[in-house]
Amino acid sequence: MPPVFASLRPRCLLPLLRALSSAFAIWMLASHGVQASALTSEQLEAVVIDAIQPVVERHQVPGMALALTINGEPFFFNLGETALEGGEPVTEHTLFEIGSVSKTFTATLAAYAEAKGALDFSRPVSAYLPALRGSAMDSVSVLNLATHTAGHFPLQVPAEVDNEDALLEYFRNWDPGYTPGSKRTYANPGSGLLGVVAARSLNQPFDKAMQESVFRGLGLSHTFLKVPDDQMRSYAEGHNSRHQPVRVNIGLLGEEAYGVRSTAADLTRYLAAQMELVKVAPDINQALQATRRGFFRTDYYVQDMVWEQYSLPLKKDTLLAGNSRKMIREDHPVTAIAPALRPQRNVLINKTGSTGGFSTYVAFIPEKQFGFVLLANKYFPGDERVAMLYKILEAVLPEVTVATGAVQSDSAS
């Protein structure tokens, strides 16, 4: 029987990490007294410490929430505090900025609109935004937005585009730079526009559609686009490279592309819903599964709707290359998959995310009922997050990894 993800209790307290002068606590799900992992709790504790402690000390990370789902059961590891000064201990209910992992929720909203019959991914963007008719958006499909294959957008909305009218004019005059569907370019404007189209198709503001249809539909009680006043105490402060407190500035299309705040507990439930370990309404389940259809092949992975899907067994250098700065910053040729792949189970699916003061990484393997959630209130490079996951996989699920030599990478997220 799938575990009930709401019932948590403390089990033990780990030793202090001197670099942070803070306690590191492990929490486990109470599930009829059955041990979830083949590893003992002490062994799992040692694996996690070995994976995260070098990163925590090297980057002076104030706080981190790490969650593992092993054989369908969640384990929560909470480290440090919500702020360098005046913070509180991090828990699995601490709110973190999740950066571009937000895009997976935006894709879910679009797929939910499809499930409701309001949106057709094969139709052009201009079919849903009449003001863009006669522009390049006549040739860009909604699916192109969901798979980063619309054309060459910049990574961010240009600084001079500072209001809604200017944004509309920007998209009206935008030149794709290449034929939609021929290359992949990771960019916030395209993902942001996907959110606009999805919300427009549902005749709702984006924040209302996301909160009511997706967050509530998934049973996520501590996931927000706008953090309520009564939840601000749980909202961690981010920290920049100078260890100064920072929080994200939500610009145009920011809510759609990088604006979600969530917790380790909620993201663990989100991954559990992806793996069908918890029951959600049929239309939301249909949307989740739709986001994991495979549409394009890159050199390293299959591009789903925002999600990136890796074949198993998994090579570390492949995972590093797929999450590298080069994949984020440059255009990359893709090959269309026709018909699209149905949702796969024996694969690793991942997404990184960052803001100026936060780092996020989520990954899951449906066949193994394995999930990984990393939230930190300090930015550190993506390759170190990938290495952290891989090290844990080598200990917990060695059969899904391939031994490789040392790899150099300049990953980021």
Which sequence positions are flagged as catalytic?
100, 186
Contact assessment for residue 31 and residue 85, using Cβ atoms and an 8 Å cutoff: no
* R_g of the chain computed on alpha carbons: 20
Looking at the DSSP assignment, which residues form a beta bridge with residue 17? Answer: 22
21, exposed or middle or buried, with CB in 10 Å at 0-12, 13-18, 19+?
A: exposed
Give Cα separations from 128 to 113, 171, 181 (angstroms).
12, 14, 19
Give Cα separations from 163 to 168, 251, 253 (angstroms).
9, 9, 11
Residue 408 φ/ψ region, left for φ over 0, alpha for ψ in the -120 to 50 degree band, beta for the rest? beta
Query: 3-class DSSP state for residue 115?
Result: helix
Contact assessment for residue 109 and residue 209, using Cβ atoms and an 8 Å cutoff: yes
The torsion angles phi and psi of 119, rounded to 5 degrees, stand at -135, 140
The set of residues, in sequence order, having a beta carbon less than 8 Å from that of 157 and lying 6+ positions away, is 167, 170, 188, 189, 192, 251, 252, 253
Query: 3-class DSSP state for residue 103?
Result: helix
Contact assessment for residue 379 and residue 357, using Cβ atoms and an 8 Å cutoff: yes
Residue type, 410: D
